[in-house]
Amino acid sequence: MNLEIYSDRAKQAIQSAQSLALARRHQHLSPEHLLKVLLEERDGLSRNLIKQAGGDPERAVRDTDAALGKLPSVQGGSGQLYLKPETAAVFAAAEQDAKKAGDTFVTTERLLTAIADAGGSAAELLKKAGVTVAGLEEAARTIRKG
């Protein structure tokens, strides 16, 4: 993962996901952490994308909160945070999509789409909320035009 090719907003989301995982005493940074912070964006971009893609953002929030509540937490330890393989796959997919589209930076829209595509159980949460990768891609194209 090359953080230099991530937009400032995407970098902030990744840092917030790390902080969330540490605050909840989770040992692994999972796609659910990243999804949670994307769903909490101040301007609601990810929620709007989900809604435009035909999904239910409120269900995505509820299901993500429930999934995070089920993750094991650790007591003590060094506070070291490890990257789950699914999270690495999300970053790789987002970077590949940005490169394929000719984008200079990986954006939060790309991260959200990558979660839906390669996010393991977080992808399932989005699917249950009515979100598809194709729907997110179309919604992102529509928002960019506007």
Residue 11's pLDDT is 97
pLDDT digit string, tens, across residues 23-66: 999 999 999 999 999 999 988 899 999 999 999 999 999 999 99
DSSP, res 53: T
The pLDDT, as a whole number, for residue 50 is: 96
pLDDT of residue 146: 52
Cα separations in angstroms, 140 against 80, 87, 102, 136, 143: 34, 21, 15, 6, 5
The Cα 6–Cα 99 span in angstroms is: 11
Residue-wise pLDDT tens digits, 76-114: 766 788 999 999 999 999 999 999 988 999 999 999 999
- Residue 128: pLDDT over 70: yes
CB 115 within 8 A of CB 126: yes
Report the pLDDT value the prediction gives residue 145, as an integer from 0 to 100. 76
Cβ count within 10 A of residue 43: 8
CA distance 74 to 139: 38
Query: What is the pLDDT at residue 44?
Result: 85
Chain centroid to CA 90: how far? 8
Give how far Cα 85 sits from Cα of 15, 19, 31, 42, Å: 18, 19, 10, 28
